[in-house]
Amino acid sequence: MALFFLVGVNYPFIQALLASMGGLRAARLGDVALLLAALFVVLALGFYLSAWRWVAKPAAYLLLLTAAPATAAVRSLNVEFSPLVIRSVLRTDLVEARGVLSPAWFVHFLVLGLLPCLALRKVELEYPPLRRQVAQKALALGGALVVAGALYLPNQLLFNSFADNAANHRLKSMVVPFNYLGALGGFLGEEVDALRANGGGATAGAGADRGVHFPATRGHLLDGTGKRTVVIFVLGESARARSFSLNGYPRETNPRLARRGVVSFTRFSACATATAQAVPCLFAPFGEGGFSYRRAEETDNLLQVARRAGYQVTWYENGMGAQEVTRGVTEVNLGSYYRADRDRILIDRLPSREQLLRDGGDRLIVLHQRGSHGPDYGARYSGAYRRFLPDCDSSVLRSCTHEAVVNAYDNTILYTDAILDDAIAWLEGLGPDFRTALLYTSDHGESTGEDGWYMHGLPKRIAPEDQVRVPFIAWLSPELRAAERLDVECVRRLISRPYSHDNVFHTAVGLLDIQTPAYDGALDIFRTCRAAAHARAEPAR
């Protein structure tokens, strides 16, 4: 098992290690051999110490069947496992998983998973008496420590420099199964902490946030006109700010939005690099610094506050999952467990003007896109938006050139441009009897092979900017701007200031004219541009 995991399962790590040392150079082969020998000792010791009756074979089967897809993820997508990645995997659905599956994935699963399990099934294991087995394992542990010392002491400089070199972080995160087992342990630790906190009652500090419900009422900016308010919040997926021509990208990826005169903020950061954390974080009132999954689940977010203030809230879901933020609001699932349509379905399912008039009331509508989620970018747009060529039509991104991957990704942004424009056209079609607006941001960004990174999900402290920097776009109808006395030219002067998902809740609450103790005017991007800002009575916090 140790030899198989070293040479077979960890072949991506060996390839990357050799590449980092300049290839198969005679001068560095000794260093490579020492590092691999150390890894072999750790693997062998781990497998041997876990080899107990009734445990050895089930544990080996489980490791083989999980290590195979982990190796495929490291090889094809350069995934760095973290508790957030594990959480995302456990919350995924077949539609998202199908985008990752490829012939190469099945080859990995067959060669590194199923076939070794079949071979292991034919191996008969014999176990000595328990006392002798414990003694043998103790002896093995002592022998491994001796070998480790013999390897380390004469080569301290090599091992210390490898461990301390920041450039080797990616190499160390590639070692299977330690990468995903460590991430799984971190995830389970988060869940245990959440359960312990939930079982301990509301105490001081974080525990005091259990079941936090904010009172919310309508303000007076939108009163007295007889008009109804309809705001669409488009939640994008895997869209990075750099690829938007509205933000200076040299390719014209936003031709339709550019004609709309929308406001696009150029320095907007996500609070996480994966959907599972970013979505509950961006809708919450407490921001990235105060985020925990338990707190997000127990505290009213934008949707609950809007509903409490009298808005009819509807969430249209195209298959990426609402991440448990839709508590108490209407959720319309358009992307099924088995398939997801392109995002045009979000526009097609919007209610008619007649239906809005018949139902009455004001509306907050959330459209959760499939967006630019990879690796199968080519499935995200139709032929009419296949402008940048050649484009990668494979979910194995490393099988395409970097140019083709970027072309496919840029086509997804072009398609999103059309979706946002169609949503604005729908709002305009409601006529002057409605005050309307559209807000758009993405849950996180995306890497398309730059510096060897693909997709998203890296820990934010080391994630490249493309995974963190996201778009934030606003379109405000003349009727809503007039009602709120909102100076859009003043808003345009703010586009280069640094903002983040921390601003989303408070900006949306301000735009919806909701008064609630959860509102922090300092985080409302539009507040300073309202002529009536000084007259707005912000509740005491």
Pick left, alpha or beta for residue 456 (phi over 0 → left; psi -120 to 50 → alpha; otherwise beta): beta
Give the bridge partners for 514, in sequence order: 218
Cis peptide before 471 (omega within 30 of 0): no
Q: What is the pLDDT of residues 23-54, one digit of tens each?
A: 777 767 888 889 899 999 999 999 999 889 88
Selection from 247, 248, 245, 238 nearest residue 375 by Cα: 238
Both tokens assigned to 141:
């542990």
Taking the chain, what is the end-to-end CA distance rounded to the nearest angstrom?
A: 59
Q: What is the pLDDT of residues 457-512, one digit of tens each?
A: 888 888 999 999 999 999 999 999 999 999 999 999 999 999 999 999 999 999 99
Q: Quick one: pLDDT at residue 540?
A: 42
Extract the residue ranges of the chain whose pLDDT is less than 70.
27, 93, 95-96, 157, 160-161, 163-169, 194, 196-210, 224-225, 335-340, 532-541
Q: Quick one: pLDDT at residue 170?
A: 73
Alpha-carbon 367 to chain mean position: 17
Beta strand 363-368 with 330-333 is unpaired
Domains and CATH numbers, the chain: 2-190 (no CATH), 229-384+411-535 (3.40.720.10)
The label of the residue with tokens 């139902």 reads 359
DSSP 203: -
Both tokens assigned to 446:
């995306």
Q: What is the pLDDT of residues 86-100, one digit of tens each?
A: 887 887 767 667 777
Q: Quick one: pLDDT at residue 535?
A: 45
Alpha helices in 168-265 (DSSP H): 169-172, 178-199, 255-260
Give the bridge partners for 236, in sequence order: 442
Q: Are 179 and 167 in contact (CB under 8 A)?
A: no
Q: Quick one: pLDDT at residue 169?
A: 67
Q: Quick one: pLDDT at residue 31?
A: 86
Q: What is the pLDDT of residues 238-265, one digit of tens each?
A: 999 999 999 999 999 999 999 999 999 9
Find the helix packing angle between 504-511 and 275-283, rounded to 10°. Answer: 40
Q: What's the rounded Cα separation, in Å, for the pair 270 and 467? A: 8
Selection from 319, 313, 268, 306 nearest residue 441 by Cα: 268
Q: To the nearest whole number, what is the mean pLDDT of the chain?
A: 88
Q: Quick one: pLDDT at residue 494?
A: 97
Q: Quick one: pLDDT at residue 225?
A: 67
Three-class SS state of 365:
strand
The one-letter amino acid at 4: F
E-only strand ranges, 453-492: 454-455, 469-476
Q: Quick one: pLDDT at residue 166?
A: 52
Q: What's the rounded Cα separation, in Å, for the pair 479 and 106? A: 55
